[in-house]
């Protein structure tokens, strides 16, 4: 599969997730076999006004051979100006978010709110396509609440010049509840000639195969990778010895090279809770981690926990 001139090897992608797909987590996903990992979505308007926190979201890891930035906004001129600028120069693919269901995003007319205004969405995509040779992709949902218009929206994206699309098989109203509509994803794939990436409810090999049965060209994994970046190697059939403690340490080390310790501690709390999911007798260690403000002490707590866990297993 190719997205523009970018060739993928195994067609497995880490989905962009706000507050989750930081540079450390993306690096681990790529290490475990993801073709590429999409960064947290960034506001085009915030980039225009040089917001430092937003710029921090554009930091990438050395092993990200295919770099993908996801931007959002509802002003075609601002979106195009950011795509054209040097701000996104290092990225190979620019993805436009037209699927985020968060109230604060849709309230501004961004994210999945754009599924209610096909003409505006078209103008945004075509404006970005015109100012760059890089592939422009679009991520969207089944529709806005009861208006299931993913097929028409996909056709509009293709007409506007998108190089590929990602369809999450839930409506905006569903957020992340209920089931992803795989039949709708199949219809989207059949309706366009550009590559289609399927997203939603892929959490293991079985659900991955189910998504592939829709005919999609690639599969994007989101929540199934939380605390579980090795899901990519599992799907690829690679029997790797996963060391959760080492993964956590790698994650922390990467964040430490870019951010202050206080921020790393704060950001890692949720990740550590996900990394510990499935371990027995981990309630106490979780409680300790969320209260601890010293990163070295957090690591000490985790090392003791995993050491005791190995003793119980043996």
Q: What is the set of active-site residues?
A: 100
Sign of CA dihedral 110, 8, 204, 302: negative
Do the bridges between strand 136-144 and strand 147-148 make them parallel or antiparallel, or are there none, so unpaired?
Answer: antiparallel
Cα distance between residue 76 and residue 160, in whole Å: 13
Cα distance between residue 165 and residue 145, in whole Å: 20
Contact 242, 35 (CB under 8 A): no
Do the bridges between strand 136-144 and strand 93-98 make them parallel or antiparallel, or are there none, so unpaired?
Answer: parallel
Cα distance between residue 186 and residue 196, in whole Å: 10
List of E strands, the chain: 2-3, 6-7, 12-14, 36-37, 42-43, 68-72, 93-98, 136-144, 147-148, 164-171, 196-199, 218-221
The residues, any chain, with a CB within 8 Å of residue 242's CB and separated by 6 or more, are 230
Q: Report CA dihedral (181, 184, 188, 191) to the nearest 10 degrees.
A: 170
Helices (H), 57-199: 76-84, 103-106, 118-130, 150-160, 182-191
Cα distance between residue 132 and residue 127, in whole Å: 9
Cα distance between residue 7 and residue 132, in whole Å: 18
Contact 60, 67 (CB under 8 A): yes
């Amino acid at each position: 599969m190719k997205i523009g001139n970018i060739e993928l090897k195994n067609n497995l992608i880490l989905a962009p997730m706000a507050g989750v797909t930081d540079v450390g987590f993306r690096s681990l996903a790529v290490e475990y076999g993801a073709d590429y990992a999409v960064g947290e979505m960034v506001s085009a308007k915030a980039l225009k006004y040089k917001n430092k926190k937003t710029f921090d979201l554009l930091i990438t890891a050395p092993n990200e051979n295919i770099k993908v930035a996801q931007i959002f906004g509802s002003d075609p001129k601002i979106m195009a100006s950011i795509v054209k600028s040097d701000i996104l120069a290092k990225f190979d693919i620019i993805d436009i978010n037209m699927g985020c269901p968060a109230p604060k995003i849709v309230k501004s007319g961004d994210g999945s709110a754009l599924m209610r205004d096909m003409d505006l969405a078209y103008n945004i995509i075509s404006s970005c396509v015109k100012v760059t040779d890089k592939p422009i992709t679009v991520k969207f949902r089944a529709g806005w609440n009861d208006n299931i218009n993913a097929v028409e929206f996909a056709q509009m994206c293709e007409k506007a010049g998108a190089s590929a699309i990602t369809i999450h098989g839930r409506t905006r109203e569903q957020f992340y509840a209920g089931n992803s509509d795989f039949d709708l994803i199949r219809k989207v794939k059949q309706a366009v000639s550009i590559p289609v990436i399927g997203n939603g409810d892929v959490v293991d090999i079985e659900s991955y195969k189910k998504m592939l049965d829709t005919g999609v060209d690639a599969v994007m994994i989101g929540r199934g990778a939380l605390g579980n970046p090795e899901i990519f190697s599992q799907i690829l059939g690679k029997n790797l010895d996963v060391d959760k403690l080492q993964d956590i340490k790698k994650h922390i080390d990467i964040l430490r090279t870019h951010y202050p310790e206080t921020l790393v501690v704060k950001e890692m709390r949720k990740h550590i809770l996900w990394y510990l999911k499935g371990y027995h007798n981990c309630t106490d260690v979780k409680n300790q981690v969320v209260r601890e403000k010293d990163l070295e002490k957090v690591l000490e707590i985790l090392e003791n926990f995993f050491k005791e866990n190995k003793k119980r297993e043996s």
